Structures are given as structure tokens and as C-alpha cells.
Chain A
Amino acid sequence: MISPKYASLHRAYETMISKKVLFIVFCVTIAILMMVLSVSIGSYKISFIDSFKVIIDHMLGNPVDRQDLHVIWNLRMPRAIMAVFAGAGLATGGAVMQSMMRNPLADPYIMGISSGASLGATISIILGISLIPGFTGDLSIILNAFLLSMIPVAVIVLFTKHRSLSPIMMILIGLSIMFIFGATTTLLKLLANPGQLAEAYMWGIGTLGRATWENIIPVAVLTSICMVLLFRFSNSLNILAMGDRNAVSSGVDPKRKRMYYLIIVSLMTATIVSFTGPIGFVGLVCPNIVRQFIGSDNRFLIPCSAAFGSLFLICADSVSKTVSVVNMPVGVVMALVGGPLFVSILLRMNKNSWA
């Protein structure tokens, strides 16, 4: 029980909390609406109502026009679901990385995850090598991408066996690995024929277009598990954001916890990136936009970033599908629309969400 003399203060605090919860609910609702709406968006013209009918009829086992079914059920639905999970996962990863590295510029890609994935895919496309023997084609690309995107975190884990690493050292090691991977990818591309080069280039841009019912399953399962775990750690993340000395004296081992969370974030991001290619911007910018509205408490920042990341990626993908004269990649749309949006939010908010 809160004693009566603090009752009014506590009510004011709870009002503030409910506003944050309300904002999260709002983001989730809009994200779900946009996901549904996005199924009817694309170069194949079909109305919102009709696309809905196709889904319902197919689920009930009624006969549906084959072409409608293919576009709606086999292409757009998985794509929308992939957007939801990829957006949520990347934005959550960004929020967690920023808190534990105590740096608003951190995101999962800063650890070299995306460049690792690109290198893995390039090895498969250009050299035809599968790092796990016996796989070919898309599966070999995905597995290669996943394996190489886990290398930076593996290196950091090995490093910490010998000496302790500060957040900024981790970031610098991640960045160095990113450049090494990038250079290797460039080197491989010099060996490629034009067909391979085009494929490797397209892979490196990042798209939701490769989503199928089969490959959204690992993404959905792993992203969900990792996001729930990270959300459960939001109190520890708040403590890590206060600095290592504060963390130790609050009963949190910062080195161990940071390593643990880094592995979870890497696993989640690597899974997403292996299937979509490197989609930038979400991880870095979404958490920072969300901070402007609900603050930096990870208990709210993590779920809200997830919802907002989904919403953001779905919207960007819808735009990229609408203007797809040249099959505009979602990453390009996001940066072109999201960049100015982010800057305008920053300038308008007139308050400082970073110390």
C-alpha cells in the first residue's frame, strides 16, 4: 500500500506510465492495421476488400482465383509477416545495443553483423562455397550469411576470455571486423562475372521480397524468443545504461550481462539478416524516435521500439511496392523517407533525450 501522503504523487506517476502504455498500444494497433492493409498494396491490382476475401476464403477452404491466391497468400502475406518480425527484431536489437553500450549511435549492425551476412552470401553466390557442406542455392546463401554474421560476436566472446572490454572497445572491434568483411566482399566481387555480381549486389541491398512461408518460420520463432528474453531483462538494461560502477554496486555484473545480451541480439539480428539481407536504418533510428515520445526506460522502450520498428518497415515496404517502377528496395525508401522524418522529429521535439 502506498501511504496517503504519497497518493497524489503516485497517481501522477501512474498517469505518466499509462500514457506510455497507451502509446505502445497505439503503435501496435497501427502496425497491425498497416500489416493488413499492406497485403492489398502492390503492382498486382486487387482491392482491400477482395484481398481480404481471398485470405478468408482460402482459410475456410473455399475455391479462390489461382492468381489472386498466389499473389495474396504466397507472396504478400509472408512478406508482410516478415516485415513485422524483421522490423520488430531490428528495432529491439537497436534499443538493447544502445542501452548496454550507453551509446545512442549503436545498433546491431555496428557489430559487423550485416557485413558478415553480406560476405557469407557473396561467398556462396560468387565462389559457390557452402560453409556447411551439402547445401546449395538459397539455403547455402542463408546459412553462409548466418554463420559469418555470428563471427564478430564470437571474436568478442573470445577476446573477453583474456581481458575485459569496455563498450567502446567492443564497438571499435565490431567496426574493424565490419571493414575487414566489407573489404573481403569487395575483393570477391572483383572476381565475379556480371550475373553473379548482380545477384550479390541485389542481396546486399536488403529486401523483404524473398519472404516465403517456409523462411518466415525460423525468423518468427527466433525473433519472438529473443525479444521476450530481452524485454525480461529491461531492468538490468536500465542499470547497464547507468555505467559499469553503478551496475556492480547494484548487483549486476556488467561484463557478463553485456556479453549475454550481445549474443542474444546477434543471434536475433543474424537470423533476420540471413533471410532479408542487410536492411539498415530501423535498428539505429526507430529506438531513437521512440525515445522522443516515451523516454529511455527499457521497460517501455523495448516493446515500443518493436512495435514502431514493425510499423516503420511495413510502411516503407508498402511505399516501395507502390512506386515499384524499378523494384525500389525497402532500405532505400526507409532512408529517403525516414531520414528527413527523423531529423524533423529531432528538431521539433526541442528536448534532449540523451545525456
Chain B
Amino acid sequence: MLLNIDDLDFSYDKKLDVLNNISINFDEPQLVSIIGPNGVGKSTLIHCINRILVPTGGVVKVDDLDVQEYNLKKLARSVAYVPYTTGDAFPLTVIDAVLIGRFPINDRRPKDEDFEKVYQSLEALGITDLALRPFNELSAGQKQKVALARGLVREPKILLLDEPTANLDIRYQMEVVRLLHDLAHEWHMLVIMISHDLNIAAKFSDMVILLNNKQIFVVGTPEEVLTEENIYDVYGVSSKVITDEGKPHVMLRAYSEGNKTNMVSTGRV
């Protein structure tokens, strides 16, 4: 089993539960989206997979081995992570910034093979023309792509992304998520991304995990997960779900009765 999460719990200070009884398995290369309201534990779940956080209960296994038993560098060869923000304090050129992603594989002088992978990643993301530019002179969207290239460059088995489309305009959102879907299948990776855009997630994901109240509310194909009932139960928002290009498309209802009562009852006016 490529990724195996079994009865995972996580809490800060043993008081505040963030995740409870999360169990899920993945074996096939595919694009998985994690969706759910703010503060529901999406990032926490991802951080438990790549050991930024240590679960308070249960196990996470990559290739049938508990991630806690991995040496950190060995785990990094299998699991890459693209954070929400890339806070590089001292910017490098784009090539060097991506080259860093090869560290778990080669921590010494970069070889031709390392450069080849860097150039391939830049090409895959269509940012070869930025290669020699300093990272801090790029736009937010370009930086996001460089961060993505840094995740891709070591050809991980599992690629984790925390809102990879956050800084991108709609065209690049489409482009990047489509690319993630294609790369998942072409490079045989399990790509798991956190998303707030239900429609982008629906369009390109093979599988969607909807988190609510510290637990997996429902998991399945976009059609199974993105229903009017589920969206109302989890987000408290009324919507109309239609089918477009064979995928569900969520249209939000601004003024329906359900929304108003919900806003008032939860105090979020």
C-alpha cells in the first residue's frame, strides 16, 4: 500500500482535538483533493503524513512502513511537500531554488542528472523562461509554480500540496490543477492537494475527501462527494449542483432561505 492512514488522531496539548479517527488508504497514482471548512484540520492531516506533525494516535504508513520509523531524508525521497507560502528569507535564482528540492536524493554537488530533472520540472510547469531570474522578483503565481517545481523535482511517490492555487488567477488555477492531474498519471504519483475551490477540485480530482468536524465526512469520486446535501451539511451553504463536462459543478445560492437561517444561527452574520 502506497499510503495507509489508520485511525489517525491529532491534538494540540492533548486537549484540543484537531483530527479524530481518520482512516484512509491509497495505492493508485491519482489526484486527491482534500476539501472542507476553515480550521477543520486539512493542513494538519497533510502535516501528519510528512512528519511536520507527529500524530497523537494511530499510524501513517508510506510503502507499508510507519513514517515515524523513516529516517527524515528517506521519507523526503518518497514524500514531497509544497507549503502554502514559500517564505524563503534569502532568495536564490529559480534554478537554485528548485535544485534544493533534490537534496534528499543528492546532498552534495549537483550532478548533470539533478540539473536535468530541474529543467524537466521547469518545462513541465512552463516556467523555463524564468530559470535564471531571482526568486524574489517573481510574481506570486510564478513563485507558486517554482514551489511546485521544487516538489516535483525529486520525483516523489507522494506529492502533498497546501492550496497550490491560492495565488493564481483562474487560468493558472485551471492550468496547474490540470497539470497536477496529468502528472499524477504520467509520473505515477499520488498527488494530494488541499483546495478551497470546489469546482476546480471537482473538475480534475480522481478522488475527493470532505473533512468536517475533525473527521472524514465523506470520501469518494467528485460526483459522490459534491452533492447539495453534503455541501449544506458541512459548509452550511445552499447550492445547486449541476453536471458539466461529466463533472459536478457547484453553484452557490446567495439568498436562499437556508443560507440566511444558517448564518444567523451560527452567528456568522
**Listed stretches A131-139, A172-180, A222-230, A240-248; interface member:** A240-248
Q: From residue A242, how far is it (CB to closest CB) to chain B in Å? A: 5
Contact with A along B39-80 (1 / 0, CB 8 A): 000000001001110000000000000000001111111011
Question: Do the beta carbons of B132 and A354 come within 8 Å of each other?
Answer: no
> In the complex, which residues of chain A have a beta carbon less than 8 angstroms from the beta carbon of B170?
none
Q: Contact at B77–A243, with CB atoms within 8 Å?
A: no
- Report the nearest A residue to B147, measured CB to CB: A246
> Cβ of A251 < 8 Å from any Cβ of B?
yes
Q: Kindly identify which residue among A10, A236, A245, A295 contacts B134, using a CB–CB cutoff of 8 Å.
A: A295
Of B24-32, B104-112, B215-223, the one contacting chain A is B104-112
The number of residues on chain B lying at the interface, defined by a beta carbon within 8 Å of a beta carbon of chain A, is 42
Measured between alpha carbons, how far is A227 from B95 in the docked complex, in Å?
Answer: 26
Q: Could you give, for residues 141-172 of chain A, a 1 whenever the CB lies within 8 Å of some chain B CB and a 0 otherwise?
A: 00000000000000000000000000000000
From B84-92, B186-194, B240-248, B254-262, the one touching the partner chain is: B84-92
Q: Which residue of the partner chain, among B71, B90, B95, B131, contacts A296 with CB atoms under 8 Å?
A: B90
Pick from B81, B89, B108, B116: contact of A249, CB under 8 Å:
B81
For residue A355, CB closer than 8 A to chain B, the reply is: yes
Bound Cα distance A145, B112 (Å): 48
Verify B131–A248 contact, CB threshold 8 A: no
- Cβ–Cβ < 8 Å partners of B132 in chain A: 12-13, 16
Contact of B100 among A2, A13, A250, A352 (CB under 8 A): A250
Instruction: Name the A residues within 8 Å of B128 (CB-CB).
Output: 9
Q: Which residues of A1-36 have CB atoms within 8 Å of chain B's CB atoms?
A: 1-3, 6, 9-10, 12-13, 16
Contact across chains for A352 and B74 when beta carbons are under 8 A apart: no
Q: Which residues of A contact B51 (CB under 8 A)?
A: 248
Q: Given the known A-B contacts A2-B116, A16-B93, are A252 and B83 also in contact in the complex, defined by CB atoms under 8 Å?
A: no
Contact of A291 among B90, B131, B160 (CB under 8 A): B90
Q: How many angstroms from the CA of A2 to the CA of B110 in the assembled complex?
A: 12
Q: Decide if B72 touches A253 in the complex (CB within 8 Å).
A: yes
A352 touches B136 (CB 8 A): yes
Residues of A286-311 at the interface with B, using a CB-CB cut-off of 8 Å, are: 291, 295-297
Q: Which residue of B has the minimal Cβ distance to A3?
A: B116
Assess the B115–A99 pair: CB atoms within 8 A: no
Work out how many contacts link A and B, with CB atoms closer than 8 A.
Answer: 119
Q: Are B115 and A296 in contact (CB under 8 A)?
A: no
Separation of A33 and B188 alpha carbons in the complex (Å): 57
Known: A2-B116, A243-B83, A249-B52. A297 touches B89 (CB 8 A): no
Query: Would B87 and A243 count as touching, CB distance under 8 A?
Result: yes
Given A2-B116, A242-B100, A352-B136, A295 and B83 touching (CB < 8 A)?
A: no
Contact assessment for A249 and B93 in the assembled complex, using a CB-CB cutoff below 8 Å? no
Tell me, yes or no, whether B10 is within 8 Å of chain A by CB. no
B37 vs chain A, min Cβ distance (A): 22
The CA-CA distance from A354 to B77 in the complex, in Å, is 29
Q: How far is the CA of A297 from the CA of B86 in the complex (A)?
A: 16
Contact yes or no, A355 B91, CB < 8 A: yes
Contact of A10 with B119 in the complex, beta carbons under 8 Å: yes
Q: Which residues of A contact B75 (CB under 8 A)?
A: 251
22 A-B residue pairings within 8 Å (CB atoms): A10-B115, A10-B119, A13-B95, A16-B93, A98-B90, A236-B107, A243-B89, A245-B52, A248-B50, A249-B79, A250-B100, A250-B103, A251-B72, A251-B74, A251-B76, A251-B103, A252-B72, A252-B103, A253-B72, A354-B89, A355-B88, A355-B91
- Give the interface of A toward B (CB within 8 A): 1-3, 6, 9-10, 12-13, 16, 98-99, 102-104, 235-236, 238-239, 241-243, 245-246, 248-253, 291, 295-297, 351-355
Ranked nearest first, the 10 interchain pairs of A and B with the lowest CB-CB distance are A251-B73, A251-B76, A296-B90, A249-B81, A102-B89, A251-B104, A6-B119, A243-B87, A249-B50, A251-B72
